[in-house]
Structure 1
Amino acid sequence: METPVVLELLAKTIGFITFFKTLISIIRWVWVHFLRPAKNLKEYGSWALVTGSTDGIGKALAFELASKGLHLILVGRNPARLSVTTKELHQRYLGSGLQVRSIVIDFSTDPSEVICSRIQEGIDGLDVGILINNAGMTNTWPRFFHEADSIMDDIVRVNLEGMCRVTRVVLPVMLKKKRGAIINIGSGSADTLPSFPLYSVYSATKAYIHQFSRNLHVEYKQHGIDVQCLIPGFVKTKMLPIRFSSFFLPTPEVYSRACLRWIGYEPVCYPYWRHSLQRTLAQAMPKEFLDWAALQLVLLLRERESSKSQKKKPSREFQLSHLLMGLN
C-alpha cells in the first residue's frame, strides 16, 4: 500500500475516532443533565442536615429537600433567621408532617468542641441520611494576600474546619446503618478558573473541599455512603449587587432543583447544565488569558468597592463573591 493511501486511511481513522468520542460525550452530557432519573432521597434516611441554611443556595436546598418529604435540621449562626426559615418551611408544607429542628452555630467563633457537641445533640436519635455542607464565607472585597487580616482565619474556620467537624460527627450515624449522602458545596473559582486572584484563601479552601470530597467518596463508597462536591458557577441571590439576569445566572431555587437530581452520582460535578457549558467554554480558552481577565475584573471591583467604602463601610453579610461565583 502506498504511503499517501496509508496516511489518508490513518487520518480518516483518527477523524472517525475523534468524532465518535465527541458524539458519545455529547450524548452522555444530555443524559446526565436532562434524562437521568433522580434517586429517591428518602432511601438515605428521613432527616437531612443543612448548614448555612437561612439564605441563598442553602435555604433553597432546604426547601427542595422538604418537598421530597425529608425532615430538616437547619444549622446557622443567627437564631432569628433560623426561626424565620423554619416558619416559612412550615407554612409552605403545611399538613405534610414536616419536622424542622434548628442548631445555632457560628463556625467562625465557636470552639470545635462546641460545634461537635451541638451537632451531636441536634442529631441524637435521628435517622440522618443527607448532610449538606453549604456554610461558607469569603473576604468582603478583593484583597491582596498581604492585606489579609483576621478574615483569613475566619474563612479557614468556616469553609474547612466547620465542614470537617460536622462531617466527622454525622458520618458515624451513616456508617452504622451503611447508607447516607454527604454533599459539599464547592466553587467554580477552584475549578473553572485557573486562578482566582485577590480571593486566594477562599478559592484555596474550595479546592480543598473538592479534593476532600473525592477522597471521602473513595473511602466510604464501599460502606454505602455517597460523597459529592457540587460546583456552582453564577447563582443569583437577593444579596447580589446586580439587577440584571443572564444565561449563566440561575436563581437559588433553579440551581437547587438541579442539585437534587445529581445526589448519589459523580463525586465532583456541575449539576446545573449552563454552568457545565460555561466550564467547557472556559477550558477552551488560554489559561494566560483567563488569569489576565480574572485579575482585571477583581481589580475593577476592588476599586469600585474601595470608593463605596468611603461612603459606607461594608457589612459582614455582604459577600462580593456572590457577584463572581454566586456562593454563600
Structure 2
Amino acid sequence: MLFWIILVSSLGFLWFLKKLSCFVRWLFNLLLRPAKDLTSYGSWALVTGSTDGIGRAFAFKLAASGLNLVLVSRNSAKLKTVSAEIQARSPYSKIKLFELDFSGDDVVSRVGEMKEAIDGLDIGVLINNVGVTYPRAMYFHEVEERVWMNLVRVNVEGTTHVTKAVVAGMIGRGRGAILNIGSGASIVVPSHPLYAVYAATKAYIDQLSRSLYVEYKHQGIDVQCQVPLYVSTRMASEVADVERSTVFIPRAERYVEEAVKWIGYESRCTPYWAHSLQWFFASMLPHSLLDSWRLTVAITRIQKSKQNKKN
C-alpha cells in the first residue's frame, strides 16, 4: 500500500513540476525574452494578404521595424492605399506592390511572375497570412465544391507556392524567417465542426511549418506557425460574433505587437497572452466536451443567421 502511495505521489509531483516549468517558461517568453532583430534576416519582408487584418498590421509593424516591404494582395486599389499609409508613417521604407489573386486559376504562373519580380531582393522575412474560410457555418455535405476548392487553393496551394518561391533565396543567403498564420480551429480544439475543410487546411499549415522548421533550421532559416484564436478582423466578423475587440479578441494591431516578438523561436506558438490562457484551459478539458461545445456554437450561428434573414 505504501508503495502505491509513494508512486502516485511521485507521479503527481512530477506532473506538477512539468506544469510549473511550462508556466515559468511561458512567463519568461512573454515578459523577458528579447525579440529578434528582424533586419538581421534580410532587408526586405514579403507579406501576403497585406491589405486587411493581421497581414495589414504586420506590414505596418515590419516597416516601423526598418524593413522594406513587398506587399501582395489581390486588390490593386487597396495595395496602393495601404502602401501610401505605410509610407507616410515609415518614409524610409521601400515598398513594392504585387497584385495576386490566390483564388484564381493562374496562381502558379502568377507566383512565378512574383518570383521574377523579387529576384535580387534580400527577402529575409516571409509572412504567409493570406487565407479564407467559409462564408458561414455549414455541414460538410452543404459546402459547394467551389467553396471548398477555393479554401484549398488559397490556404494550401497559395501558401505552399509562395513559400517555395521565397525559400530558395533564403537558402542561398543562409538566413531567413518564415511565419505561417495557422488557426486555433485546427490545433487548440480537437475538432471544428461545420468548418471542417477550413480546419483541415490550417492543420496542413501547421504540419508544413513544423516539417520545414526541421528541414531548414540548420541552414539558418527559422520557420514558425503562429496559432491565433479570434482576432478582431473582417474575416472573423463574417463567421463569428466578433463585433468589437476585447481582452480575448484583440485588434489585429495588438496581436501583431506580440506576434513579432516570437518570430524566429519556436516552430509553433500562440503569441498573444490571452489566447495562450484559453489554449491552456482547453487542454485540460475532455475532447468530447470541447467537441460538443464547438458543435453547439456552430449550430447556434446557423440558427442566428436564419433568424437574421427572416427579419
Q: Same fold (TM over 0.5)?
A: yes
Asked if 1 retains the 8 angstrom alpha-carbon contact of 2:245 and 2:251, the reply is no
Report the CA distance between 1:15 and its aligned residue.
4.5
Q: What secondary structure, in the 3-state scheme, does the structure 2 residue paired with 1:246 have?
A: coil
Instruction: Give the TM-score, by structure 2 length.
Output: 0.93
2:20 to 20, 23, 41: 23
Report the CA distance between 1:188 and its aligned residue.
0.1
Asked if 2 retains the 8 angstrom alpha-carbon contact of 1:49 and 1:131, the reply is yes
Asked if 2 retains the 8 angstrom alpha-carbon contact of 1:103 and 1:118, the reply is no
1:212-231 per-position Cα deviation (integer Å, ceiling 9, x unaligned):
00111111111111111000
Q: How many residues align?
A: 306
Q: Report 1:83-94 matches (<5 A).
A: 83-94=80-91
1:301-328 per-position Cα deviation (integer Å, ceiling 9, x unaligned):
11222344567xxxxxxxxxxxxxxxxx
Rounded to whole Å, the distance in 2 between the matches of 1:267 and 1:280 is: 18
Aligned to 1:250: 250
Q: Report 1:58-207 matches (<5 A).
A: 58-94=55-91, 97-149=92-144, 150-207=146-203
1:104-134 per-position Cα deviation (integer Å, ceiling 9, x unaligned):
0101114133222232133121000011110
Against the structure 1 CA distance between its residues 13 and 144, is the aligned structure 2 distance closer, same or farther, given a 3 Å change threshold? closer
Q: Give percent identity, aligned residues only.
A: 45
Report the CA distance between 1:147 and its aligned residue.
1.3
Asked if 2 retains the 8 angstrom alpha-carbon contact of 1:132 and 1:183, the reply is yes
Against the structure 1 CA distance between its residues 140 and 12, is the aligned structure 2 distance closer, same or farther, given a 3 Å change threshold? closer
Report the AA paired with residue 261 of structure 1.
Answer: K
Report the CA distance between 1:13 and its aligned residue.
4.0
Report the AA paired with residue 49 of structure 2.
Answer: G
Asked if 1 retains the 8 angstrom alpha-carbon contact of 2:74 and 2:100, the reply is yes
Aligned to 1:274: 274
2:213 to 188, 200, 217: 217
Larger RCO: Structure 1 or Structure 2 (Cα < 8 Å, ≥ 6 residues apart)? 1
Report the AA paired with residue 230 of structure 2.
Answer: F
Residue segments in structure 2 that go unaligned for 5+ positions in a row: none
Rounded to whole Å, the distance in 2 between the matches of 1:123 and 1:191 is: 33
Rounded to whole Å, the distance in 1 between the matches of 2:190 and 2:234 is: 28
Rounded to whole Å, the distance in 2 between the matches of 1:282 and 1:268 is: 17
Asked if 2 retains the 8 angstrom alpha-carbon contact of 1:115 and 1:166, the reply is no
Report the AA paired with residue 87 of structure 1.
Answer: A
1:166-212 per-position Cα deviation (integer Å, ceiling 9, x unaligned):
11111111011010011100000001111111111100000000000
Against the structure 1 CA distance between its residues 101 and 309, is the aligned structure 2 distance closer, same or farther, given a 3 Å change threshold? farther
Against the structure 1 CA distance between its residues 242 and 264, is the aligned structure 2 distance closer, same or farther, given a 3 Å change threshold? closer
Aligned to 2:224: 228
Report the AA paired with residue 114 of structure 1.
Answer: S
Instruction: Give the TM-score, by structure 1 length.
Output: 0.89
Rounded to whole Å, the distance in 2 between the matches of 1:200 and 1:238 is: 20
Report the CA distance between 1:56 and its aligned residue.
0.4
Asked if 1 retains the 8 angstrom alpha-carbon contact of 2:101 and 2:107, the reply is no
1:54 to 51, 73, 84: 51
Q: What secondary structure, in the 3-state scheme, does the structure 2 residue paired with 1:158 have?
A: helix
Against the structure 1 CA distance between its residues 116 and 57, is the aligned structure 2 distance closer, same or farther, given a 3 Å change threshold? same
Rounded to whole Å, the distance in 1 between the matches of 2:16 and 2:187 is: 26
Report the AA paired with residue 260 of structure 1.
Answer: V
1:55-75 per-position Cα deviation (integer Å, ceiling 9, x unaligned):
100000111111110000000
Rounded to whole Å, the distance in 1 between the matches of 2:190 and 2:131 is: 21
Rounded to whole Å, the distance in 2 between the matches of 1:120 and 1:82 is: 18
1:1-40 per-position Cα deviation (integer Å, ceiling 9, x unaligned):
xx64x55555554444333333222111101111100111
Q: What secondary structure, in the 3-state scheme, does the structure 1 residue paired with 2:72 have?
A: strand
Asked if 2 retains the 8 angstrom alpha-carbon contact of 1:229 and 1:267, the reply is yes
Asked if 1 retains the 8 angstrom alpha-carbon contact of 2:232 and 2:244, the reply is no
Aligned to 1:290: 290
